[in-house]
Structure 1
Amino acid sequence: MSISELSSKVENDKVLVLERIFDAPRDLVFNMFKDPEHLKHWWGPAGWELPVCRIDFRPGGTWLYCMKCMDRNQGEYYGMESCGKAVYKDIIEPELIAYTDYFSDADGQIDENMPASAITLDFIDLGGKTKLVNRSEYVSAEALKTVLDMGMLEGITETWNRLEEHLKEVK
């Protein structure tokens, strides 16, 4: 796998595994996921901003975020908001972040009609570079299919592209 190349695979019909190598030290890549000031620069697909990003970065803490489409060229998505709430389960700095990610409204009320995912982010030190492994486990194959059909894979690819660009700016 080369830098900037995203690989994805599905395990057991309900676990999506994404991997990518970033040309930045592990501590810096890890920090991108815990600092709201960094997240505002890269979280979300191209053309989306992050006007709401509140983080209580500790096990049991939460992360509330709302993305908003600011790109008029995205047609029906322009002006749309998409919010989520994460509840952190485990944090081992700078190696691992585990959390449950929910669809929510801007107040953090969880949308029970949408699939939640148990996410584990592993940050693997490659001597100045970082391999990021994202495991997203869903309750069923149908739940995974729901988010894939919503364009989640394209969205995370664009999001990680934005992360790569932000890392270049701050390195």
Structure 2
Amino acid sequence: MSNQTVTRIEGNEFILERIFDAPRGLVFKAFTEAEHLKHWWGPRGWTLSVCNVDLREGGAWHYCMKCIDENITDFYGMESWGKAVYKEIAAGEKIVYMDYFSDEEGRESDEMPATEVTLIFEDHDGKTKVTSRGKYDSEEGLQTVLNMGMEQGILETWDRLAEHLQSVQ
């Protein structure tokens, strides 16, 4: 595995794997601290205009991605709200959360599929391997977000994470 994100689909699960050239503790912080998330979460041309993290089991991360790139004409100025509700946290090793589309008040969308995400952080020859397993209620739910361009968006997002990690070491 290289420093590129590998993706695959297994039934109703979307799986990503990547090795980041950074220590596990820093990579974990990048996924869990607003100061880091603000620098990399979202595809290119998007920024986090809101990022509130309550990192505890039962806590939530509520955020808003906003398209700020005028060249992305179909989405320029658009806001996309999301909410993650943490189910399990093992510091430096694992995070399990429910990922929802939401509104600015944090109300979860009934129209869009929710995802149970399991993130695993492993030491890998001085670097960190991250595995993300996003489980949907159905293959149709997964297909809905794939049709929206989610795969390209997450690939760009993880590229931005790799760049951010290099900038803070």
Report if TM-score (shorter chain) is over 0.5: yes
1:95 is matched by which residue type in structure 2? E
* Aligned positions, number: 169
Distance 2:5 2:74 in 1: 27
1:127 Cα deviation from its structure 2 partner: 3.5
Task: Please tell me the root mean square deviation across aligned C-alpha atoms, in Å.
Answer: 0.6
The one of 80, 94, 102 aligned to 1:96: 94
Distance 1:62 1:51 in 2: 17
Q: Does 1:73 align with 2:71?
A: yes
Q: Does 1:132 align with 2:130?
A: yes
Deviates more, 1:124-133 or 1:91-100: 124-133
1:10 is matched with which residue? 9
State the secondary structure of the residue aligned to 1:165: helix
Distance 1:71 1:60 in 2: 34
Segments of 5+ residues of structure 1 without an aligned counterpart are none
2:80 is matched with which residue? 82
1:141 is matched with which residue? 139
State the secondary structure of the residue aligned to 1:29: helix
1:84 is matched by which residue type in structure 2? G
Deviates more, 1:46-55 or 1:120-129: 120-129
Distance 2:104 2:130 in 1: 28
Q: Between the two proteins, what is the percent identity of the paired residues?
A: 57
Distance 1:127 1:19 in 2: 15
Question: Do the aligned partners of 1:17 and 1:136 also contact (CA within 8 Å) in 2?
Answer: yes
Segments of 5+ residues of structure 2 without an aligned counterpart are none
Residues 86-108 of structure 1, C-alpha deviation per residue, up to 9 Å, x if partnerless? 10000001000100000001110
Residues 111-169 of structure 1, C-alpha deviation per residue, up to 9 Å, x if partnerless? 10000000000001114200000000000000000000101000000000100010000
TM-score (norm 2): 0.99
The one of 39, 51, 58 aligned to 1:60: 58
Distance 1:16 1:45 in 2: 17
State the secondary structure of the residue aligned to 1:142: helix
1:167 is matched with which residue? 165
1:34 Cα deviation from its structure 2 partner: 1.0
* Structure 1 outlier segments of 4+, above 6 Å: none
TM-score (norm 1): 0.97
